[in-house]
Amino acid sequence: MDTTSRLLMLLDVVELGSFANAAQTKNIDRSVISKQISRLEDDLGVRLLNRTTRSFSLTAAGAEMVKKARELRDLLGQTVRLAENYHQEPRGVLKITSSSIIAKLYLQPVINDFQKRFPQVEVELRLDDRVVDIVAEGFDLAFRVGEPKDSTLIARKIARNRLAILASPEFINTYGAPKTIDELALLPAATYASNSLRVNSINYIDKDGNHKEKTIKSVFRANDGEVLLLKALSGTAFIVLPSFILAKEVIDGQLVPLLPSLHLSDFSAMYAVYPHRDLPVRTRLFFDAVREHIGKDSPIWENNIPNFEQLYQG
């Protein structure tokens, strides 16, 4: 191991906050990091960290080294990706993070096909409903609903993702079909909520063309589509949820759209996010494969609600 690798190890410690965290993230023993950073300090002839068993701080020299280490990581990353441009076909590890639903419903079939086409590609898929630091955790690609707030990341829109308001026939028998959004807002709702995505109101456009927001009476929240669907199917709540969560429930008549003539505002699209513009071949090809699978014009999940193009258009 040489100076560059040790500097990157130092960077891991600083960015992840502890030797223990860095070791865990990189799947190596804590003693390795301890020894290698000591060795780095010996080789450079300067102390980089002041440390106790519970915390550390950077020395002045350490702070400078960390800046240089970031530049080295960037440059080395560029170099490796540059080499990857010359690959005949994609190879290596593709590390993807995604919300559970996106992964299960949309990514896994694409991954299966992709790995048939390119047997030399390995895939690591992390299901995580939190917004993760894809740079620090070394992801090539992330799939999310909603544009990322981190402007240093590159976000590319995969597909639009409109909301649907659905209830079971039993629910309608019990509460009646609401005729206005005000009536809807009085009924019990089950809504999607995760750390990164939360639905607790409905944005719509009224008859005069004004954008409006109506808070709904969310009595049940979960980050799992199946759980939400089961709640709706139980007839005890209607659901408002992004259409990408749906399967065949509407086609089978188990769920029925409410207020179909309401003019809903656009909802957050689905995005692919990656850390920098020059993608390895395998990342770019996978991205294209996901786009192809989902469909560029109207996403495949809109096929799960008949005549969805006409719904919620005012």
Partner DNA sequence: AACATTAGTGCTAAAATGGCACCAATGAAG
Partner DNA sequence: CTTCATTGGTGCCATTTTAGCACTAATGTT
Segment 52 to 71, residues that bind its own copies, using CB under 8 A: 60-61, 64-65, 68-69, 71
- The token duo for 108 is 């896994």
Q: Is 72 among the residues that bind its own copies (CB under 8 A)?
A: yes
The residue among 9 and 255 lying less far from its own copies, judged by its C-beta, is: 9
C-beta of residue 242 within 8 angstroms of C-beta of residue 225: no
Q: Is 39 among the residues that bind DNA (CB under 7 A)?
A: yes
Contact partner, 21, from its own copies, DNA, none, Cβ < 5-8 Å per class: DNA
Segment 91 to 150, residues that bind its own copies, using CB under 8 A: 91-92
CA distance readout (Å), 127 to 4, 10, 100, 208, 283:
31, 28, 5, 42, 18
Segment 56 to 115, residues that bind DNA, using CB under 7 A: 56
Contact partner, 61, from its own copies, DNA, none, Cβ < 5-8 Å per class: its own copies
Contact partner, 78, from DNA, its own copies, none, Cβ < 5-8 Å per class: its own copies
C-beta of residue 155 within 8 angstroms of C-beta of residue 148: yes
Contact partner, 265, from DNA, its own copies, none, Cβ < 5-8 Å per class: none
Selected range binding its own copies among 4-12, 106-114, 135-143, 214-222, rule: CB under 8 A: 4-12
- The minimum distance between CB 14 and its own copies, in angstroms, equals 15
The Cα 176–Cα 238 span in angstroms is 12
The Cα 235–Cα 98 span in angstroms is 30
Residue 286's Cβ-count burial label (10 Å; 0-12, 13-18, 19+) is: buried
Following DSSP, what letter does each residue of 102-127 receive, concatenated?
A: HIIIIIHHHHHHHHHH-TTEEEEEEE
Buried b (16+ CB within 10 A) or exposed e, 130-168: ebeebbeeebbbbbbbeebeeeebebeebbbbbbbbbbb
Residues that bind DNA (CB under 7 A): 1-2, 18-21, 23, 27-32, 34-39, 49, 51-56
Residues that bind its own copies (CB under 8 A): 1-5, 7, 44-46, 60-61, 64-65, 68-69, 71-72, 75-76, 78-80, 82-84, 86-87, 91-92
